[in-house]
């Protein structure tokens, strides 16, 4: 199943059982590697659940764009950098939200946290085995229109899903 946006980039990504198993394996690896480090519960989700959600979004975007996912394991995680790199070296920050309708939000109210060239917002698809790629936003546009919000976890910079443009507008077709 593949719903396309303009530019022939899939917007609804179906994940096979094998792909979901690979995501779960990598999430467990990243979770276990951080054993002994301070762990919190983010929004009611455990560290393992947040790793799984994040990797689900990264994998879906990588699949849509025809690029690879970083499968390395590091105690420092991604080091607060980007999640994906295109062949032309543009960088992507993926935000997978646990519920449909949620915003593209940074962890803080500091624009410097957004270090990638482009941010991509993903939600769970309507079907359990799918991810919806809502759209993307450039770092420059995000910096101009983001507002400070608080979801009960401190101040964060965020934009709503209505501010996202389809991936095809930014990436000009499947890569």
Mean pLDDT of 85-102: 92
**Region of residue 44 (phi > 0: left; psi between -120 and 50: alpha; otherwise: beta):** left
List the domain boundaries for the chain. Answer: 12-164
Q: Provide the pLDDT confidence category of residue 34 given band limits of 50, 70 and 90.
A: low
pTM for this structure?
A: 0.86
pLDDT, residue 69, reads: 81
pLDDT, residue 15, reads: 95
CA distance 143 to 14: 32
Mean pLDDT of 98-111: 94
């Amino acid at each position: 199943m593949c719903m396309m946006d303009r530019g022939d980039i899939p917007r609804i990504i179906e994940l096979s059982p094998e792909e979901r198993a690979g995501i779960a394996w990598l999430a467990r690896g990243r979770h276990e590697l951080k054993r002994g480090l301070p762990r919190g519960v983010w929004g009611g989700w455990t560290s393992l659940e947040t790793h799984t959600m994040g990797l689900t979004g990264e994998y879906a975007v990588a699949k849509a764009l025809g690029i690879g996912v970083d499968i390395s394991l590091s105690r420092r995680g991604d080091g607060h950098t980007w999640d994906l790199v295109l062949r032309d070296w543009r960088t992507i920050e993926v935000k997978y939200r646990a519920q449909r309708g949620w915003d593209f939000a940074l962890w803080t109210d500091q624009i410097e946290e957004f270090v990638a060239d482009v941010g991509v917002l993903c939600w769970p698809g309507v079907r359990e085995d799918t991810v919806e790629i809502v759209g993307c936003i450039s770092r420059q546009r995000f910096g101009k229109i983001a507002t400070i919000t608080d979801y009960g976890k401190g101040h964060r910079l965020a934009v709503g899903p209505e501010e996202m443009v389809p991936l095809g507008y930014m990436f000009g077709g499947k890569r």
